[in-house]
Structure 1
Amino acid sequence: MRASESDEGGGRQFRFVRSHLMARLRDGTYTVGARLKTQRELAEELAVSRETVQKVFGQLAEEGYIETRRGSGSVVVRLPGTRDSQGEPTLYDSIDEAFGEPEVSLDVVSLTSESLVGHFKAQVERVEARQLAPRRVVVRMMLPSEGADLLYPRAPDPKDDVRVRERWRNRVRVHVAEMGDYCERLQAAGVDTTLEVRKVRWTPDFKLYMFNDAHALKGLYIPVEAPLRLDDGTMVKEAIDVKGVGVSLRRFEKSSGADVDSDYDDYRAWFESHWKLVARSPKGD
């Protein structure tokens, strides 16, 4: 067995599966009493070994998030707070922190924005419930053009490649439409809200989130080769894709005081220059 699959303390696949499930517990996909997918289903969906999923389930049970019940599978019994128990920065934390301010800005670079949508929705629902009251929300999303020759996702067989690319396009369209819907809901709740999407013709090798011009989260996209389930339920036996949900993120703070420069400042300059000079409106994409 490979160490990356069996090492509970730091194995990449273990951390990926755990982060995926914790994100779903936070964003409302799973609520208390909900039944998780089976270990076999999750292993197939996430392209990891069943043993890795079993180890993650075991840890979540020890931490009191789930219980395994005879005849019912694994059931959610407790939801997490805003901090990941392993101390890693999370997208949930940062969006939650950003929405605590009267002026919210969110700049995004990603392949599909799948990770973003659920967390953004949770904040919209808090605004609608009058738990939060931001005055203004501005979202800028930089995504690959649908016509770009992406390095991933793709498949070696031309017929499969067409289907894999269409799967990616469908996901991008859905997530952008969902963000549009959530921003309209914020408008209806009395929040001055702006959403702008621009496209680039290159493959992102990282996801980047910048919050309130104060801090950023960055995570690397790591290509993996594994079977891929298409939207119609059929499987492509061989495809290259990346795992977006659950990617480890690093946090970068904006420079202040004695700090005359920082990684955050570099990422801010990079985003602004690409937004202004490289990215284009998706019209005619």
Structure 2
Amino acid sequence: MRGGVDDGGRKVQELKSALLADITEGEYDEGRLLPSQRKLAEKYQVSRDTVQRVLGVLAREGWIESRQGRGAVVLRTQTVRSRVRGNTAAKRVTLGPLIASAFTAPDVTLDVFTLTSEVLCTHVRVQEERIRAGEIRPETVTIRVLTPSDDEPLPYPRALDGPGDDRPQRHLQGIRRYHTDNLVRRLQDLDRDIDGLTATVEIRRAPLVPYSKLYIFNGAEVVTGPYVPTERPLTLDDGTCLDVVDVIGLDSTLTHCAKDDDPESQASLIVSSWQKWFDSTWRLLAT
């Protein structure tokens, strides 16, 4: 499917996102074996063929390693370093609990600048399930997402052997389109289904090359981290594997800070500065 994600590719993308979320949130920690292919297929309600395809992609991208007679071993996870609440040493946390905490507020706001919305969509799905189960009940959920414009090609992903090959760019755009459409649909369904909840999401395109991902929770907390350029294999929807220059947000160590009682403290100023940047970019540059 030109410039998009076909039905088989959607299943692969969904499972890849779910597995990466579980890996980065510590359910499958570094050095730990993943469940068997049969158990993964049952847990995520997909076919064994989809599981095999996703494990192959994750192995080529360096997330897992298949070991003869043992199964797939997790090689790396993502780290968020936080100095919030008076920690004297940087504390390792994960993104999921930070987003979950943000969703306990009566009025939830998420401002996000990201390359594909893949991780955001995965975490919002978890919070949607909590809302539907009655575990949390915010009154409003407002999400604003800035992503790059499709009008101008980015410097990544770029095929190493053929810089003029547009397939990596079309692949990226298809993934971005899939996840942003998914996010919009989920918020629309929440707004329709849950009495007393107003849920909205707006996606805007900015003429910017993302050098980092940015999350702002309720105007009070910031998580940010650089996209790290690297050479890696990229598996297209049709199964073709290309060697590309790309960036992987999950490769970086994210940092977390929150406003405190002093508006002039370093943490408060960092949050305020990022919020000002996002608001200005949203208003003046994005379409």
TM-score norm. by structure 1 comes to 0.72
Partner of 2:92: 88
Shift of 1:201: 1.4
Distance 2:285 2:261 in 1: 29
Task: Answer whether contact 2:113 2:145 (CA < 8 A) is retained.
Answer: yes
For residue 275 of structure 1, the aligned residue among 263, 279, 282 is 282
Partner of 2:230: 224
- Structure 1 residues 231 and 18 mapped into 2: Cα distance closer, same or farther (>3 Å)? closer
Mapped pair 1:257 → 2:247 = no
For residue 45 of structure 1, the aligned residue among 20, 43, 60 is 60
Per-residue deviation, residues 68-99 of structure 1 (Å, max 9, x unmatched): 9x68x3699xxxxxx99x94232201110011
Mapped pair 1:233 → 2:239 = yes
Mapped pair 1:135 → 2:150 = no
Shift of 1:247: 3.2
- Structure 1 residues 204 and 223 mapped into 2: Cα distance closer, same or farther (>3 Å)? same
Task: Answer whether contact 1:98 1:212 (CA < 8 A) is retained.
Answer: yes
Deviates more, 1:244-253 or 1:196-205: 244-253
Secondary structure of the structure 2 residue equivalent to 1:195: strand
Unaligned runs of 5+ in 2: 1-18, 29-33, 42-50, 75-80, 83-89
Per-residue deviation, residues 150-185 of structure 1 (Å, max 9, x unmatched): 111122445773110110010000000110121022
Distance 2:241 2:72 in 1: 26
Mapped pair 1:245 → 2:250 = yes
Distance 1:266 1:136 in 2: 24
Mapped pair 1:21 → 2:28 = no
Count of matched residue pairs: 236
- Structure 1 residues 75 and 164 mapped into 2: Cα distance closer, same or farther (>3 Å)? closer
Amino acid at match of 2:106: P
Distance 2:234 2:257 in 1: 33
Partner of 2:11: none
Task: Answer whether contact 2:24 2:94 (CA < 8 A) is retained.
Answer: no
Distance 1:42 1:211 in 2: 31
Task: Answer whether contact 1:18 1:246 (CA < 8 A) is retained.
Answer: no
- Structure 1 residues 181 and 47 mapped into 2: Cα distance closer, same or farther (>3 Å)? same
Partner of 1:173: 177
Deviates more, 1:246-255 or 1:102-111: 246-255
- Structure 1 residues 273 and 204 mapped into 2: Cα distance closer, same or farther (>3 Å)? same
Q: Where has structure 1 moved over 6 Å in runs of 4 or more?
A: 17-20, 30-33, 36-40
Quote the RMSD (CA, aligned, Å). 3.5
Shift of 1:246: 5.2
Task: Answer whether contact 1:227 1:235 (CA < 8 A) is retained.
Answer: yes
- Structure 1 residues 272 and 23 mapped into 2: Cα distance closer, same or farther (>3 Å)? same
Mapped pair 1:112 → 2:127 = no
Amino acid at match of 1:271: F
Partner of 2:190: 186
Shift of 1:263: 1.3
- Structure 1 residues 98 and 110 mapped into 2: Cα distance closer, same or farther (>3 Å)? same
Per-residue deviation, residues 205-260 of structure 1 (Å, max 9, x unmatched): 00000001110100110011122111111111x21111123532101212532635
TM-score norm. by structure 2 comes to 0.71
